[in-house]
Amino acid sequence: MKPGDIGHTLSQGEDVLGVLVIEEGLVVQRTGGISDSLANYFVKMVNVGLSSQLVEEEQFQTMNINYPIPRYSYTIAMAGKRIYVVKKSMPSHSDDDDEPNS
């Protein structure tokens, strides 16, 4: 990814583990930590009508999606005809933290 590119900018966070860029239903860029099966999942998910609604001059938008995969969260960002998926690390959370003190 080139400096100044949205994908490059999104990948700069210290907790970012990978970035996936989808355009017209195809993966056009992928960096670190995103498996083929997960990339295919996101391609299918965004092609369910979402990608056809994106227009070139559309404002940059994001939405957070948390999956039941320990230690990770995914943010989906949309700009123009591209969809960006950012894989981030999450702070570890122990089940013991939910237990009341005795």
Cβ count near 97 (within 10 Å): 7
**What 3-state DSSP class applies to 14?**
coil
Average pLDDT, the chain: 71
Whole-model pTM?
0.64
> Would you say residue 51 has pLDDT above 70?
no
**What 3-state DSSP class applies to 64?**
strand
Average pLDDT over residues 26-39: 85
Tell me the C-alpha to C-alpha distance, in Å, between residue 61 and each of 7, 32, 36, 58, 81: 13, 23, 25, 9, 12
Average pLDDT over residues 26-53: 75
Structure-block tokens of residue 1: 């990814």
Of residues 14 and 58, more confidently modeled? 14
Domains of the chain by residue range: 6-91
Average pLDDT over residues 2-9: 66
> Would you say residue 95 has pLDDT above 60?
no
Of residues 33 and 20, more confidently modeled? 20
**CATH 3.40.50.720 corresponds to the domain 6-91:** no
